[in-house]
Chains A and B, each alone.
Chain A
């Protein structure tokens, strides 16, 4: 009879060991009973997973054939879908409730934001963890210009766009000398400083109380405060964003961004002015964040520093990564998914952030290019 070593025995019982270990970690936080339940659930799940993996070849083959089928039918209908989608988007406020229109407006604002961040992270490959600062600048510029100086939306818009773009430009000049993860930390620090200033500069921003009473935008003296009007208003801007970022991506500047993302040294050797194009990407991204911020302030009629925390930055980053770095349809879908999911699944609202956190980890491990991202776009430093 062969003697089974301890190590081998451990290996055989691996799912049980993992489940026991995780339950042990969980135990002090919720007590013995919950830990036991977790242990049972986890071990069942892991045994099931192991069982599944045993037939992995069969599974993978069937999945492959399904995905091949999907892929083969995907491209022609995508163009058709785009034309089918537009009428649907136009009639959306008529066929749904006010509540859903509200969510749609929010998704629109987030799409603009995420597309802006996509310019920085997806196109140019620079991780920006303080993106929400530019969003805050746009929102606060409109809020303050409107409530303090009585400027209407259209005269405040260029100022707030200019302001956030300039901020992106000014942050980029010193920050871009740094390597990938250091850049991320500097942008994070910048975002936090902006939030702290908004929170503490009571005379200007009224601190944590926020600025209220912001007017809705109007077109030719017709106010578009009503939900469905605002929906179309945002929709126009979303289309503008999608169109512009898409065109810029396939222009000379976009090519330069891709080159920098893929290999900075090689691209600078080929004569691409890397610093300049990186600064462009920061400023261009900040521009869209400013636009989203202005729209946000116009919709909510109220802004406070609470809307512009680090978590918000991460949330936008999740949209970009989930959808697929650098892929515009992917980013749009990612934003819609992340805005809609908590609305649809009200009961799991509490667990939303928990899922977001573990989702990020899983995504990085199993599919770093995102759900819809191509193979060409990847995270690089």
Chain B
């Protein structure tokens, strides 16, 4: 029971961590709570279903499952990144020098827009994600770990490690760090801030797309409203780890996944969604800088 919940929590947590990275990166650079980020994740889930459906119809799925998965994932990432890029250009860029609450309200607007956009184009009912992996897995000490769970944890780990590498070692990553520290100084030393911000949104949205795709596979059901709650939870994860800190988002996400999974099995399943909110409020009141963050509040 304990180990089983641990594995479930890890799976869920790595997805939260992936979404939380998008929040934390945008917050680190723009000091903006990107409310629409959860919707990008939802778009990722929907795009996964749409492209899989397309590939199944054209017969590619029968030919090679791996190729289909890779193509679907790539297309979802491309589209979600484009959405993230476009949202930043339309809704946030004109408000870069506005009072702090204006972009937040604009982000809420984008979030409402995207939710209803998907609802109108794809319907308000749940969409079923086709099962690709058989429900089999490894049994170990009476604990079952499905291949899908292994896939999710593995992919998340790879992505997080490569993101860490990207931010630490590449030129663009270093530019991001510089912009996060001081925008004006960064632009004085010749960093194109607009490019950096766009890149941040593109990477964050790409990660959210992967998360959405994997969650859609994991739960098998997708709805236009999943983005809101997942977004809040991922935001909680980001705050828990210390918003603005990439390492914090990873740990925060996994911690939140574990709390939720243990809380649901040992305390109460009905209040599953409330744990995230309670943690969020407590963390913000007790230690707003999070576990790994610098003091920002």
* Chain A residues within 8 Å of B, Cβ to Cβ: 21-22, 24-25, 28-30, 127, 129, 174-175, 177-182, 184-186, 188-190, 192-193, 196-197, 200, 310-311, 314, 317, 321, 350-351, 353-354, 356-361, 364-365, 368, 378-381
A24 CA / B83 CA spacing, docked (Å): 10
Specify which chain A residues have a CB less than 8 angstroms from the CB of B297 in the assembled complex. 178-179, 182
* Chain B residues within 8 Å of A, Cβ to Cβ: 32-33, 46-47, 50-51, 75, 79, 82-83, 86, 90-91, 94-95, 98-106, 108-118, 120-122, 228, 232, 235, 239, 270-271, 273-274, 277-278, 280-281, 284-285, 288, 297
Given A200-B270, A364-B95; A181-B100 close (CB under 8 Å):
yes
A179 CA / B273 CA spacing, docked (Å): 25
Q: Which one of B94, B108, B288 contacts A178 once the chains associate, using CB atoms below 8 Å?
A: B288
A189 CA / B280 CA spacing, docked (Å): 7
Q: Which one of A197, A310, A360, A380 contacts B105 once the chains associate, using CB atoms below 8 Å?
A: A360
Specify which chain A residues have a CB less than 8 angstroms from the CB of B271 in the assembled complex. 196, 200
Q: Rank and list the top 6 A-B pairs by shortest CB-CB distance, nearest first.
A: A360-B109, A357-B113, A357-B112, A381-B100, A189-B277, A29-B121
Q: Quote the shortest CB–CB distance from A255 to chain B (angstroms).
A: 21
Asked whether B285 lies within 8 Å of A177 as measured between CB atoms, the reply is yes
Asked whether B118 lies within 8 Å of A310 as measured between CB atoms, the reply is no
Specify which chain B residues have a CB less than 8 angstroms from the CB of A200 in the assembled complex. 270-271
Query: Given known contacts A379-B105, A381-B99, what 6 new A-B pairs fall within 8 Å (CB)?
Result: A25-B83, A127-B101, A127-B104, A178-B297, A196-B273, A357-B109
A192 CA / B233 CA spacing, docked (Å): 12
Specify which chain B residues have a CB less than 8 angstroms from the CB of A311 in the assembled complex. 112
Asked whether B104 lies within 8 Å of A184 as measured between CB atoms, the reply is yes
A174 CA / B287 CA spacing, docked (Å): 12
Q: Which one of A360, A365, A380 contacts B108 once the chains associate, using CB atoms below 8 Å?
A: A360
Asked whether B280 lies within 8 Å of A186 as measured between CB atoms, the reply is yes
Given A21-B86, A379-B101; A178-B106 close (CB under 8 Å):
no
Given A181-B33, A189-B281; A356-B100 close (CB under 8 Å):
no
Interface centre among B33, B105, B280, by most A CB within 10 Å?
A: B105
Interface centre among B47, B103, B104, by most A CB within 10 Å?
A: B104
Q: Which one of B94, B117, B278, B284 contacts A354 once the chains associate, using CB atoms below 8 Å?
A: B117
Q: Quote the shortest CB–CB distance from B83 to chain A (angstroms).
A: 6
Given A29-B50, A186-B284; A364-B109 close (CB under 8 Å):
yes
Asked whether A193 lies within 8 Å of B277 as measured between CB atoms, the reply is yes
Asked whether B281 lies within 8 Å of A196 as measured between CB atoms, the reply is no
A186 CA / B271 CA spacing, docked (Å): 18
Asked whether B109 lies within 8 Å of A185 as measured between CB atoms, the reply is no
A317 CA / B32 CA spacing, docked (Å): 19
A380 CA / B102 CA spacing, docked (Å): 8
